[in-house]
Amino acid sequence: MSKSSEGELSLEERMRRLEEILARMESTEIRLGEALELFEEGVSHVKTAGEVLAAAELRVEELLADGQVISFEDKVE
Amino acid sequence: MTRIESDRGLSPFDDSGIETSEEVLTEQSPKVWSVSQVNRAVYGLLESSVDQLWVSGEVSRWTRSRAGHCYFSLKDERAQIRCAMFSREADQLPANPEEGTKIRVFGRVTLYEARGEYQLVVRRLEPEGEEGLWRLAFEQLRHRLDIEGLLKDDRKRALPRYPGCVGIVTSRKGAALADILKALRRRAPWTQVLIRDTRVQGEGAALQIAEALTQLVNTALPDVIILGRGGGSVEDLWAFNEEPVARAIAASPVPIVSAVGHEIDVSISDLVADYRAATPSSAVEAAVPDVRVLAERLEQAGGQLGRTLRRVSEGQRSFVTEGRRRLQVAIERQFTPARQGLDRACKQLEARANHLTNRQRMKFEGLVGRLEALSPLATLCRGYSVARSMDGRVLKSTLDFTQGSVFELQVTDGKLLAETLGAGEGDGKDE
């Protein structure tokens, strides 16, 4: 629902995928080749998600009655 | 009330008393009452002569003092009575009744001596008829929604663990919004926030809230929506107890966190929503994970990835070692009989070959003997020799020799070089 841009995973999707990967890697019947692939993917999610967390600044927008979405100016304390 | 008229003998209002005063007035020594005495007497009269009673009317000029005592007037078309409801009873009220609300009260008529005003001290207050007190409306709506199953626990959905977009339905001017944004900045700064401003109190607020919520849901952007407002009086919070809001929440496919007023205020909106937060800030705590917790989880996940990979690869290595060992054993087992067979076959073959070679040799030797019998060598053995030209022709006739020509002479055990010295005796027909 909240893709930040085309083809890029949202933080939620990334975290969910990461949990999936971990669960799969914990399973006993995994082969080394698959584990390696999952490991690489997982590491990239950890890295990217970490960057998202570190860099993000709350983006606040307002939905108007006519359906327009505009940037919301509020006082930042 | 009739008892006021019927009860006699209470000075100074009994007939005789009044007459006495008139008499006193016309004569010389008038009896003078102090104000307190009069009020005390009236107080006593009211207290003793009027039983507790129910009175119905419309609420007017309702006020609540700091101490929690409520003062108001109860009126009908022609008259009004001042009423007091002390905090012990007033605190039981679910709400302050609105101006004009029809109610009935139970209490006693008494006199406030300090002012000389009579009043009704109210013990109980109940809504009169269908409309009226909040409580009644609240309970009715709750009952209706409950029958429809909209308040059931199993309708409540889990909130998303890592929402990317948080929707907010509240007043853009309210304290709640400021609290929510502040908490979001601190807790989940990666989120996108979409605010839908709405009036949250007053006439028509409930419909506006419902519309705002529906519109926000229809954008399909938010993963979770916080709906609410800050603290206020029961009247202020009332819109969140109205049916349109309840219906809009129940219809939302997006999980809703309701945060209306303070901890003690439970609204219909709270009951229908997927999660009830006591305050706007705790709504944020429910709706989004803390960035620190998330960062910790990521770090943990990184470690976990490494550990599991190591475990899998170690498992794999021992699997390979084990596999190789088992393969070897299997091969051994498979090939041992074959090898033994092969060995046996080799021996047989060798024996056979030896046998064959011996026969062959004997056969060959016999053949050689027969061949030798035919060979010129055998003749040579008997002392003959063969002369050959250097190019290998057999020289048979004297004509084949010329004076001085060199030729080869083969005898039984080798070859000699010879030279023709000249013709010998005889005709040369015999060699």
Give residue-wise pLDDT tens across range B244-280. Answer: 999 999 999 999 999 998 777 789 999 999 999 998 9
Quick check: A2 and B192 CB within 8 A?
yes
Give residue-wise pLDDT tens across range B191-248. Answer: 899 999 999 998 789 999 999 999 999 999 999 999 999 888 877 888 999 899 999 9
SS (H, E, C) chain B: CHHHHHCCCCCCCCHHHHHHHHHHHHCCCCCCCCHHHHHHHHHHHHHHHCCCEEEEEEEEEEEECCCCCEEEEEECCCCEEEEEECHHHHCCCCCCCCCCCEEEEEEEEEEECCCCEEEEEEEEEEECCCCCCHHHHHHHHHHHHHHCCCCCHHHCCCCCCCCCEEEEEECCCCHHHHHHHHHHHHHCCCCEEEEEECCCCCCCHHHHHHHHHHHHHHCCCCCEEEEEECCCCHHHHHHHHCHHHHHHHHHCCCCEEEEECCCCCCCHHHHHCCEECCCHHHHHHHHCCCHHHHHHHHHHHHHHHHHHHHHHHHHHHHHHHHHHHHHHHHHHHHHHHHHHHHHHHHHHHHHHHHHHHHHHHHHHHHHHHHHHHHCHHHHHHCCCCEEECCCCCECCCHHHCCCCCEEEEEECCEEEEEECCCCCCCCCCCC
Instruction: State what percent of residues in chain B have pLDDT above 90.
Output: 38
What CA–CA distance (Å, rounded) separates B268 from B134?
12
- What kind of fold does domain B136-289 have according to CATH? Rossmann fold (3.40.50)
**Domain definitions of chain A by residue range:** 11-71
**Domain definitions of chain B by residue range:** 33-132, 136-289, 379-419
Quick check: A60 and B181 CB within 8 A?
yes
pLDDT at B84 over 60: yes
Tell me whether A56 touches chain B (CB under 8 Å): yes
pLDDT at B75 over 80: yes
**Dihedral pair phi/psi, residue B417, rounded to 5°:** -90, 135
* CA distance, residue A75 to nearest chain B CA (Å): 8
List the single best residue of B207, B293, B308 to mutate versus A (max A Cβ within 10 A). B308
Residues of B whose CB is below 8 A from A21: 305
Q: Nearest CB to A58: which of B189, B297, B312? A: B189
Q: What pLDDT shows up at residue B371?
A: 60
List residues of B whose CB lies inside 8 A of any A CB.
160-165, 172, 177-178, 181-182, 184-185, 188-197, 215-216, 219-223, 291, 294-295, 297-298, 301-302, 304-306, 308-309, 312-313, 316
CATH H-level superfamily of B33-132: Nucleic acid-binding proteins (2.40.50.140)
